[in-house]
Amino acid sequence: MKLTATAMGLVLAATAATAEDKIVVEFGYPYSHLFDVTYEKILPKFYEQHPNIEIKMRATYESYEDGTNTILREAVAGTLPDVTMQGLNRQAILVEKGIAKSLEPFIAKEADFAKDGYHKAMLDLGTFGDDVYGLPFSISLPVGYYNMEVMAKAGYDETNLPTTWSEVVEACGKLREAGVDNPMFWGWNITGNWFLQALMWSQDKPTVEGNDFQLDTPEGLTALNTMKDIFSGCEMQNLEWKAALASFSAGDLGMMYWSTSAVGAVERAMGDFTLVTSEYPGLDEKGPMGLPAGGNSALMVSTSEDPAELEAAWAWLKFITSGEGAADVARTTGYMPPNQAANEIILKDFYADNPAKATAVRQLPLLREWQAYPGDNGLAATQVIYDGLEGIVTGEYSDMTELQEELTEEVQDLLK
């Protein structure tokens, strides 16, 4: 990870203790393009309070799936880090396999833990049984991104942006008539089949109930048909997700539907245009009935038995998910910090001054679970669905009833 000169100076100034006095905490996290700048902000503040601890950054995970696979491999090889960031929907498998440690012994030693910003609704995201295993670090929801100069070519301004998927398709047609070659990108390929779950939760329908994959329902067919309508109606290019973000930042796309997590990255990379974010469209004028909570959580996976090393790992885990550490998530990305102190106190005026990052906050009442596919084949099920959705984009699948049956059979076999 690269630090700015200022940050590096602060780090060096705050770490006067000799190397042999330091406790090293190894840390793994995903999405360097989103979070490197976040940790550049957090590290100097942490070192100021903990000069005897050194945070050693592991190579970043390419995605949440890559992060989970990496931890599963490292558990077998005996090379686990001390703390890892995992997608909210990937915590359960690490708990079930005994890789993640309960945080209850550490929480029990904290005075007034809830007053530091945590509250039950947020702790529940990382609670399994009666124990907290993960502290949420960042929360995201899907939103619409709009290049207002491009949208203006088709007669759109902030007052008449699309609110339904049929209106999105209509806008694509108008933009093409106005000479826009690639009007829209819809993030079907975002991690964890997140946008499929967004269409399911939009109908207030979970994607998984127990061990049953719910794509074989009327809501599942509606989700697939909606995707087909969007992809074909907008003649959407099958862009790799990083290429899609780069294309929007360069000013080539009029509309992009993606996680709010990328707002900070887009703002840092965007060309000379006006960025507006708006609520995620719905299937009808009533809007979505729910949306899946994206984001990640910090888990302790250290194999150390040294109390001092475990306490150091806890100090880092607690710092990045509480108060000031969590606030830096919002300042540097588009994620919302799942911490009451960060949102209500430290960031009191932040969202008023950063409206592009405020859209997801307005959608918080829609927040639903980002579901994982249960069992050891959960990651394989994710890939099967990914391949099926890509087949809609490329035109390989045109009969959504047939695709519904095929995906249901394959995924249900994996879940058994």
Please list the residues that pair with 28 across neighbouring strands: 84
- Which segment of 70-79, 332-341, 388-397 scores lowest on mean pLDDT? 332-341
The pLDDT of residue 2 is 44
pLDDT > 90? residue 122: no
Query: Is residue 5 predicted with pLDDT exceeding 60?
Result: no
- In this model, does residue 51 exceed pLDDT 50? yes
| pLDDT at residue 14 tops 70 | no
Concatenated DSSP letters for 367-409? EE--PPPPSTTHHHHHHHHHHHHHHHHHTS---HHHHHHHHHH
130-175 pLDDT, tens digit each: 999 999 999 999 999 999 999 999 999 999 999 999 999 999 999 9
Containing structural domain, residue 209: 142-292+374-415
At residue 17, the pLDDT reads 43
Alpha helices in 234-292 (DSSP H): 241-249, 263-269
Model pLDDT, residue 20:
58
Span of 13-27, 47-61, 331-345, 397-411 with lowest mean pLDDT = 13-27
Percent of the chain with pLDDT over 90: 81
The enclosing domain of 177 has a CATH number of 3.40.190.10
- Whether 99 has a pLDDT exceeding 50, the answer reads yes
Question: How confident is the model over 305-331, as a mean pLDDT?
Answer: 94
CA distance 136 to 404: 33
215 and 277 fall within a common domain: yes
pLDDT at position 406 is 98
Say if residue 195 is in the same domain as residue 76: no
Asked if residue 409 and residue 343 are part of one domain, the reply reads no
Q: Are residues 247 and 164 in the same domain?
A: yes
305 burial via Cβ count (<10 Å: 0-12, 13-18, 19+): exposed
Q: Which of 350, 367, 384 is where one domain is finished? A: 367
Are residues 222 and 248 located together in one domain of the fold? yes
**Is there a single domain that holds both residue 90 and residue 120?**
yes
Based on the fold, state whether residues 186 and 218 are members of the same structural domain.
Answer: yes
Segment 242-291, tens digit of pLDDT: 999 999 999 999 999 999 999 999 999 999 999 999 999 999 999 999 99
182 and 257 housed in the same domain: yes
Domain identity same for 161 and 254? yes
Please state the rounded mean pLDDT for residues 340-348: 82
Rounded to the nearest 5°, which phi and psi values hold at 57?
-80, 125
Does residue 94 share a domain with residue 162? no
Question: 263: closest CA among 329, 170, 206, 316?
Answer: 329
In this predicted model, what pLDDT tens digit does every residue of 176-195 receive, in sequence order? 999 999 999 999 999 999 99
Looking at the fold, whether 230 and 249 belong to one and the same domain comes out as yes
Regarding whether 403 and 279 lie in a shared domain, the answer is yes
**Total structural domains within the chain:** 2
Average pLDDT, whole number, for the chain? Answer: 92
Backbone torsion region of residue 25, taken as left when φ is above 0, otherwise alpha when ψ lies between -120 and 50, otherwise beta? beta
